[in-house]
C-alpha cells in the first residue's frame, strides 16, 4: 500500500497467512467482541474483474478490510481508491502499486472518516478484492510480508520491528476505546529498519504498510 502522504510528497481476514505471503508464525488469538461492537458487521463479499471498475459498497460496509490481489506484469499499475457518497476520494486504505500485488488494507477505522460508499479500481490486469468486517482480521503475528491488517488485544508494550525492504514501511495503530478513534503512527520509515517501537494497548487495529518481509516480536 502507498498512503496518500507518500504519493503527494512523502485486510486481512479469515484467510490463511500463506495466502498473502505472510511468514509461518501463528496468529495470536483473542476476543473479537470489542471489534464487533466498535465496527459494523456485514456479510463478506468478493468482486473481481480485469481493468478499471467502480463498485458500490453495501450500506453497512462503511468500515472494513480489503483483501486484494492483482496479477499485473512488472510495468502494469494497480490502484484501489475509496470514495464517499459524492464520489470524492476518501484517501483511506488506498493502494498504489506496480506489478502484481497481494495484501490487505483497512478503511473507515477513524471516527472522523467520511463514510466510504464505493471502491474504485484502476488496473490493466486481472484483480480480485474481498471485503470483510474488521473483526474477521487475524490477531497480530510475529512475521509477515507486504500489507496486512491485524487485531491486537494485548497490553502497551515495546516490540522489536525489522524489515529489509528498501521502500516505504509504516505501522499505524487504532485504539477502539477512545472517544475519537484515529490511527496513530507507530513507525514511518524508508529503507531497511531495525529497532524497537512503542505499541499501544488493545483492543486495537494494527495496519502494516510494507513491500517486503517484516517481523514484530
For cell 470524492, the residue is 88
| Cα 102 to Cα 78: distance, rounded to the nearest angstrom | 11
**pLDDT-based confidence at 15, cuts 50/70/90?**
very low
Looking at residues 48-64, what average pLDDT do you find?
Answer: 95
**pLDDT-based confidence at 28, cuts 50/70/90?**
low
**Could you tell me if 108 and 62 are in contact, meaning their C-beta atoms sit under 8 angstroms apart?**
yes
| Cα 143 to Cα 23: distance, rounded to the nearest angstrom | 5
| Cα 4 to Cα 9: distance, rounded to the nearest angstrom | 8
Q: Which pLDDT score, from 0 to 100, does residue 45 have?
A: 97
Quick check: 6 pLDDT over 70? Answer: no
Residue 138: which of 47, 1, 19, 42 has the closest Cα? Answer: 19
Greater pLDDT, 211 or 67: 67
Looking at residues 71-91, what average pLDDT do you find?
Answer: 90
Q: What is the pTM of this model?
A: 0.85
**pLDDT-based confidence at 29, cuts 50/70/90?**
low
The total number of residues shown for the chain amounts to: 217
Greater pLDDT, 11 or 207: 207
CB within 8 Å of 13: residues ≥ 6 apart: 44, 65, 67, 104, 130, 132, 136, 137, 138
Domain boundaries, the chain: 4-216
Give pLDDT tens digits for 139-185.
Answer: 999 999 999 999 999 999 999 999 988 889 999 999 998 888 999 99
Q: Which pLDDT score, from 0 to 100, does residue 1 have?
A: 62
Q: What is the mean pLDDT of the chain?
A: 86
Comparing 67-76, 160-169, 181-190, the range with the smallest average pLDDT is 67-76
25-to-47, 142, 149 alpha-carbon distances in Å = 29, 6, 15
Give pLDDT tens digits for 86-138.
Answer: 999 988 889 998 889 999 999 999 988 789 999 999 998 999 999 999 999 99
Q: What SS3 state is found at 40?
A: coil
Amino acid at each position: 500500500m502507498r498512503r496518500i502522504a507518500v504519493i503527494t510528497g512523502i485486510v486481512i481476514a479469515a484467510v490463511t497467512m500463506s495466502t498473502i505471503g505472510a511468514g509461518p508464525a501463528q496468529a495470536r488469538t483473542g476476543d473479537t467482541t470489542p471489534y464487533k461492537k466498535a465496527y459494523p458487521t456485514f456479510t463478506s463479499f468478493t468482486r473481481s474483474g480485469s481493468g478499471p471498475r467502480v463498485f458500490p459498497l453495501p450500506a453497512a460496509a462503511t468500515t472494513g478490510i480489503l483483501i486484494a490481489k492483482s496479477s499485473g506484469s512488472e510495468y502494469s499499475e494497480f490502484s484501489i481508491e475509496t470514495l464517499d457518497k459524492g464520489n470524492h476520494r476518501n484517501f483511506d486504505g488506498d493502494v498504489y502499486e506496480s506489478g502484481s500485488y497481494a495484501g490487505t488494507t483497512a478503511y473507515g477505522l477513524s471516527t472522523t472518516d467520511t463514510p466510504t460508499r464505493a471502491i474504485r479500481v484502476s488496473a490493466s490486469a486481472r484483480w480480485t478484492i474481498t471485503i470483510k468486517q474488521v473483526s474477521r482480521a487475524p490477531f497480530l503475528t510475529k512475521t509477515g510480508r507486504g500489507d496486512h491488517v491485524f487485531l491486537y488485544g494485548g497490553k502497551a508494550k515495546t516490540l522489536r520491528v525489522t524489515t529489509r525492504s528498501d521502500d516505504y514501511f509504516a505501522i499505524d495503530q487504532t485504539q477502539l476505546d477512545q472517544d475519537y478513534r484515529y490511527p496513530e503512527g507507530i513507525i514511518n520509515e524508508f529503507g531497511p529498519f531495525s529497532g524497537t517501537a512503542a505499541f499501544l494497548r488493545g483492543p486495537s487495529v494494527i495496519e502494516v504498510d510494507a513491500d517486503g518481509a517484516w517481523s514484530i516480536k
